[in-house]
Amino acid sequence: MTDSLTVPDYQHRTVLLDEAVDALELSGARAAGTYIDGTFGRGGHSRLLLSRLAPEGRLIAFDKDPQAIATAEQINDPRFSIVHDSFATMADALAARGIHQVDGILLDLGISSPQVDDASRGFSFRQDGPLDMRMDTTRGMSAAEWVATAEQNHLEKVIRNYGEERFAFQIAKAIVARRAVEPISSTRQLAAIVASTVKSREKGKDPATRTFQAIRIFINQELEDLEAGLTAAYSMLAPGARMSVISFHSLEDRMVKQFFASKANVEQPDRRLPIRAVDLPQPLMKLITKIKPSDAEVSDNPRSRSAVLRVAERLGTPT
């Protein structure tokens, strides 16, 4: 098994690399600002951000994965620092460093290729490995531990809500039946249980795809982190600063879309009321763009096909 702080030699191609960084507009005086890469991964976005920062600029990155932290610690640049924690903690983590506003934030919500390709991490149903699925292998309950103890109705709820799996009841029932016979401790065991239960699936998609996604999201509290992280990120943005968010499945993208819309769209009072224009509610953010990978990028990196980049800018007068 790979040591938790060893960085395996797995290749990762950063999705929407240029588009996400370009959207932050690191030019002129903005290049001297402070930026956050909330999901360091294997550092593709961070390295590009650093290449565009001025000498007095600053980049703070976050990641829960010890292997990502080990990669980040190889970057020898005084403008860069890494925090071993979720981006949901960014407001407190930066306040501890005396930082209360930043000039741009980038969140790449996808699981990295090294995590998927390393069988010892337990994320993939395509190869056998321990059923772990934790982004941070130093803390928390593994997928195997949860699958071994969760009530059937909780298994069903997680698989349905986080995997959008219509066979959630049947899969949960099959898991409970199998674990009564033997522990479910490997990815191959879980994938086989799902495959024997799900009799139909979208063309080209493995039957276990939705179940593995659901359990991974639950184990890592990904949606809770995203909800808290979006709120924290907005609170950190200086007026005129932008946030780039790349999501990879509909649950994440819906949350990002709705969060941005809640800040960009304000309910206006009845026009018949005697309210001055200056007193009307004002939007807090401006929607900038929505970008999907090009055909060329999808052809070169099929894992990018579901990615969606959304960008919004905080409104107000810069101080």
Distance CA 272, CA 278 (A): 16
What's the token pair of residue 232?
């924290």
103 annotated to a ligand binding site: no
Residue 175 backbone dihedrals phi, psi, to 5 degrees: -65, -45
Q: Is 115 annotated as a binding residue?
A: yes
**DSSP letters for 158-186:** HHHHHH--TTHHHHHHHHHHHHTTS---B
Task: Tell whether 108 is in a known binding site.
Answer: yes
Q: Mapping DSSP to helix (H, G, I), strand (E, B) and coil, where does residue 198 land?
A: coil
**Could you give the CA distance from residue 29 to residue 111 in angstroms, rounded to a whole number?**
33
Q: Where are the alpha helices (DSSP H) in 53-96?
A: 66-72, 90-95
Per the annotation, does 63 bind a ligand? yes
Say if residue 110 carries a ligand binding annotation: no
242 contacts 311 by C-beta, under 8 angstroms: yes
The tokens for 68 are 């990502």
End-to-end CA gap in the chain: 51
Asked whether residue 45 is marked as a ligand-binding residue, the answer is yes
User: SS3 of 68, please?
Assistant: helix
Binding-site residue ranges for S-adenosyl-L-methionine: 43-45, 63, 87, 108, 115
Binding-site residue ranges: 43-45, 63, 87, 108, 115
